[in-house]
């Protein structure tokens, strides 16, 4: 895994496979154990948000191993004024039970000017309350606006929808992000589970003595500077996900996927929120 680490602007490195927590909380004890098992396996990036209601769960999961975890959280756009961003961050820190967040994102575009939010994020970074900041659900034109702001070139990541079915970002956002050295975090990399029954993916999985889930994750992670953040609510599911790191898809595999799920040939509006 060492040669596949994703390096952020500040030198922090993470595995290209993280752990999502959206819609967790129904089986709290089992989910906490799953997150801890993921950290043991090197899946140290854990993604949450104030909207998810899972920050306290994440905080409990990393208690005793906070130094190993890379926590990502997000401010809701309705809270993303200058003062609101700062207050939201303080609430998130309290729920997480930590004195810093590794990566703090604007969840999606809202009514407040980017300049207000970015100013607050930059100050939170200077105060040591967040290590880095970034965006979520922003397309190329909006990312250009972010970079044009004071401190804008400190933007460390962009989290967007990406899987074999939703490939629109390959046309322009992934190349743009690579050019600007901004890692892309792929949420819903399994397509909410619906893709796992596809015959093409099942056939490829058999070639690798793997599962369709592992093929889907390996495909997302094949792209340079892309981090997949699937949710896994059980230890067995986390361990299945982790084994995707050992899969190297062949040219035949990639061609088969391209035939079943064609790459974009034109600009596609960013999917997601």
Average pLDDT taken over every residue of the chain: 96
Phi, psi dihedral angles at 94 (to 5 degrees): -65, -45
Q: How far apart are CA 179 and CA 133, in angstroms?
A: 19
* C-alpha triplet 55, 60, 65: angle, nearest 5°: 115
What pTM, to 2 d.p., does this model score? 0.95
Q: Are 121 and 91 in contact (CB under 8 A)?
A: no
Q: How far apart are CA 116 and CA 106, in angstroms?
A: 11
Q: What confidence category does residue 273 fall into, taking pLDDT thresholds of 50, 70 and 90?
A: low
Q: What is the mean pLDDT of residues 66-71?
A: 97
Give the residue among 93, 145, 95 at the shortest CA–CA distance from 117: 145
Could you report the per-residue pLDDT of 71-125, keeping only the tens digit for each?
A: 999 999 999 999 999 999 999 999 999 999 999 999 999 999 999 999 999 999 9
Q: How far apart are CA 35 and CA 16, in angstroms?
A: 16
Q: Are 97 and 125 in contact (CB under 8 A)?
A: no
Q: How far apart are CA 117 and CA 82, in angstroms?
A: 5
DSSP type of residue 264: P
Q: Percentage of the chain surpassing pLDDT 90?
A: 93
pLDDT of residue 3: 54
Q: Outline where DSSP puts E strands in the chain.
A: 6-7, 13-14, 19-20, 45-47, 70-75, 101-106, 130-136, 158-161, 184-187, 226-228
Tell which CATH architecture fits domain 2-260: Alpha-Beta Barrel (3.20)
pLDDT higher than 50, residue 1: no
Could you report the per-residue pLDDT of 156-172, keeping only the tens digit for each?
A: 999 999 999 999 999 99
Q: How far apart are CA 125 and CA 257, in angstroms?
A: 41
Could you report the per-residue pLDDT of 185-212, keeping only the tens digit for each?
A: 999 999 977 788 899 999 999 999 999 9
pLDDT higher than 80, residue 2: no
Could you report the per-residue pLDDT of 225-270, keeping only the tens digit for each?
A: 999 999 999 999 999 999 999 999 999 999 999 999 999 999 998 9
């Amino acid at each position: 895994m060492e040669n596949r680490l994703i390096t952020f602007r500040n030198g922090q490195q993470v595995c290209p496979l993280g752990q999502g927590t959206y819609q967790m909380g129904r089986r709290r004890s089992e989910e906490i154990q799953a997150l801890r098992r993921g950290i043991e396996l090197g899946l140290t990036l854990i993604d949450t948000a104030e909207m998810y209601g899972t920050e306290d769960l994440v905080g409990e999961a990393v208690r005793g191993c906070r130094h190993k975890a890379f926590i990502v959280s997000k401010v809701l756009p309705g809270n993303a004024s200058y003062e609101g961003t700062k207050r939201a961050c303080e609430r998130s820190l309290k729920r997480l039970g930590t004195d810093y967040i590794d990566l703090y994102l604007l969840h999606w575009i809202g009514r407040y000017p980017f300049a207000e939010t970015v100013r607050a994020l930059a100050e939170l970074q200077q105060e040591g309350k967040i290590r880095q900041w970034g965006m979520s659900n922003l397309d190329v034109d909006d990312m250009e606006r972010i970079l044009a702001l004071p401190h804008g070139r400190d933007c460390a990541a962009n989290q967007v929808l990406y899987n074999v079915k939703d490939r629109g970002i390959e046309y322009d956002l992934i190349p743009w992000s690579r050019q600007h050295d901004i890692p892309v975090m792929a949420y819903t990399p399994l397509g909410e589970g619906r893709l796992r029954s596809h015959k093409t993916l099942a056939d490829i999985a058999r070639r690798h003595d793997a599962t369709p889930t592992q093929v889907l994750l390996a495909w997302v992670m094949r792209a340079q500077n892309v981090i997949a953040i699937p949710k896994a609510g059980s230890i067995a599911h986390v361990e299945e996900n982790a084994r995707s790191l050992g899969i190297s898809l062949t040219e035949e595999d990639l061609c088969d996927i391209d035939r079943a799920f064609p790459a974009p040939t034109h600009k596609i509006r960013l999917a997601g929120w």
